[in-house]
Amino acid sequence: MTAQTMLDKIWRSHVVVPETADVPAVLYVDLHLTHEVTTPQAFAVLRAGNLKVRRPERTIGTLDHSSPTQADQVFGRVPIAIESARLQMAEFERNCRQFGVELLDMKHADRGIVHVIGPELGLTQPGSTIVCGDSHTSTHGAFGALAFGIGTTEVGHVLATQCLLQRKPRATAVNVHGRLSDGVGAKDLILAIIGKIGVDGGTGSVFEYRGEAVRGLSMEERMTVCNMSIEAGARAGMIAPDATTFEFLAERPRSPRGAAWERALECWRTLPTDMGARFDREIDIDAATLEPMITYGTNPGMVLPVNGRIPADGDAVFHKALNYMGFSPGDALKDKPVDVVFVGSCTNGRISDLRSAAGILKGKRIANGVRMLVVPGSQHVKRIAEAEGLDRIFTAAGAEWRESGCSMCIGMNGDTVARGKYSVSTSNRNFEGRQGAGSRTLLASPATAAAAALRGRITDPREVLS
């Protein structure tokens, strides 16, 4: 048998009908994650066709994108402020009920951002195929799963058939050599990778992140890296499962138990790419030389070390982006003023992210005039943070502490950045208007975001790390 990549192995074990020159493969989906925004039109198709959800037990729903983060609204003490969001969530609840899909509803203790709850509950498992009507489904690849985002029409396909029509993507190895230095984290690594290969560098392919630096990352850090694969255009990112993965998954509420766990481990250990397997492409990056990174433009590929300068010149799109951001060619980013700081999202809304930000803010106050919002990625993350007292560190520092959800990453629930204001955000997209019409987003790690809140200016987090 020829040496196979992890992608080859997962792909092969999920092919229901092989692809031919004329027709793509019918690919089986193990886990379908759903949320309120990208499903209503899919359920409508099922209803119109008198179809059922083929495997409701392989489908789970949560409310995250348009859900409020203010406790009063979440727990029903006051009405949800945005009427269209309220209606959309009510429709999702109705759909889940009618079609027999489990929903982690608004008051559910396990609710959270779809890409945070999957791993947290142990639903995300190595070797599986995972889809969701959301491009950051790539997050789940951190466990050695093939996980990718789909559109709403495809959500309907999976609901009705548990399958998708797919051509096999190309495999790209992203080899991260050396080790990250102190004060440089997973977010800096993935931003640097996107900066190197561009926002279209991964089109048509699945990334497998490999190398010493990747092996040294915790599961939460691996999720941060895989999460932003889509920002390089790759539909999925994956990391081979290892002891770190198994340790994370052990004893999760929905992980296999007892003999089933042992069988699963045996199978998961066969997943890593074989020695000598060939990738369609290899990308090399040196971790040791990386610094904390921050974006300056209107896509995640427009990124610099925090102590760097914006290039002196570029194409029309570069100038349009700088104009939008209110920056000039050649500007240093350091010390630029900041209005808003957001810590949260499926990229950096997990407990280690909150610990990192809290570590910088402990016993201190954020700068005058800065608004800081800390939004845990799930209710579970929120409970752990509160048990550790992180919420009190944030509130004592002058930040707002909220219920979980996507919040200011996408601004659908009213958590937005005002026109023209600068936001240092731990989310994944700095597109024009992403955090609200006219908002200006600079993407960075939780440490860099907290440092910016503290000083009210863009700051190298290593300067404030005690």
List residues near ligand SF4 by CB under 6 A: 64-65, 113-115, 134, 136, 345-346, 406, 409-410, 427-428
Nearest-5° Cα angle at 263, 351 to 114: 30
CB under 8 Å to 197, separation ≥6 — which residues?
A: 232, 283
CA-nearest of 194, 191, 180, 223 to 349 is: 223
C-alpha to C-alpha distance for 45 and 156, rounded to whole angstroms: 7
What is the phi/psi pair of residue 218, to 5°? -70, 170
Whole-number minimum distance, CB 55 to another protein, in Å? Answer: 8
Q: Can you give the binding site for another protein, defined by CB under 8 A?
A: 16-17, 21-24, 26, 28, 37-38, 40-41, 44-45, 49, 51, 54-55, 65-66, 82, 84-85, 87-88, 91, 133-135, 149-154, 156-157, 160-165, 167, 199-200, 203-204, 230-231, 233, 235, 299, 301, 315-317, 320, 410-412, 419, 429, 431-434, 437-438
Whole-number minimum distance, CB 59 to another protein, in Å? Answer: 15
Whole-number minimum distance, CB 358 to ligand SF4, in Å? Answer: 20
Give the nearer residue to another protein in terms of CB position, either 82 or 384. 82
* DSSP per-residue string spanning 211-264: SHHHHTS-HHHHHHHHHGGGGGT-SEEE----HHHHHHHTT-TTS--HHHHHHH
* Number of other residues whose CB lies within 10 A of the CB of residue 90: 12
What is the phi/psi pair of residue 7, to 5°? -60, -45
| Half-sphere exposure for 414 (CA within 13 Å, toward CB) | 12
Give the nearer residue to ligand SF4 in terms of CB position, either 75 or 431. 431
The token pair that represents 177 in the structure block: 């050599």
Whole-number minimum distance, CB 47 to another protein, in Å? Answer: 12
Give the nearer residue to ligand SF4 in terms of CB position, either 95 or 428. 428
The token pair that represents 179 in the structure block: 């080790």
Give the nearer residue to another protein in terms of CB position, either 364 or 421. 421
Q: What is the DSSP letter of 418?
A: P
Give the nearer residue to another protein in terms of CB position, either 211 or 349. 349
- With CB under 5 to 8 Å by kind, the binding choice for 127 among ligand SF4, another protein, none is none
- With CB under 5 to 8 Å by kind, the binding choice for 151 among another protein, ligand SF4, none is another protein
Give the nearer residue to another protein in terms of CB position, either 347 or 459. 347
| Half-sphere exposure for 180 (CA within 13 Å, toward CB) | 20
Whole-number minimum distance, CB 79 to ligand SF4, in Å? Answer: 23
- With CB under 5 to 8 Å by kind, the binding choice for 113 among another protein, ligand SF4, none is ligand SF4
Give the nearer residue to ligand SF4 in terms of CB position, either 299 or 428. 428
Whole-number minimum distance, CB 156 to ligand SF4, in Å? Answer: 20
C-alpha to C-alpha distance for 216 and 89, rounded to whole angstroms: 40
C-alpha to C-alpha distance for 285 and 288, rounded to whole angstroms: 9
- With CB under 5 to 8 Å by kind, the binding choice for 311 among ligand SF4, another protein, none is none
- With CB under 5 to 8 Å by kind, the binding choice for 356 among ligand SF4, another protein, none is none
Give the nearer residue to another protein in terms of CB position, either 256 or 433. 433
Whole-number minimum distance, CB 434 to another protein, in Å? Answer: 5
CA-nearest of 118, 76, 347 to 224 is: 347
Whole-number minimum distance, CB 345 to ligand SF4, in Å? Answer: 4
- With CB under 5 to 8 Å by kind, the binding choice for 320 among ligand SF4, another protein, none is another protein
CA distances (Å), origin 29, targets 32, 121, 347: 7, 18, 23
CA-nearest of 240, 238, 221 to 229 is: 238
Which H/E stretch holds residue 34? Answer: strand 31-35
Whole-number minimum distance, CB 27 to another protein, in Å? Answer: 10
| Half-sphere exposure for 352 (CA within 13 Å, toward CB) | 16
Q: What is the DSSP letter of 2?
A: -
Give the nearer residue to ligand SF4 in terms of CB position, either 88 or 345. 345
- With CB under 5 to 8 Å by kind, the binding choice for 427 among another protein, ligand SF4, none is ligand SF4
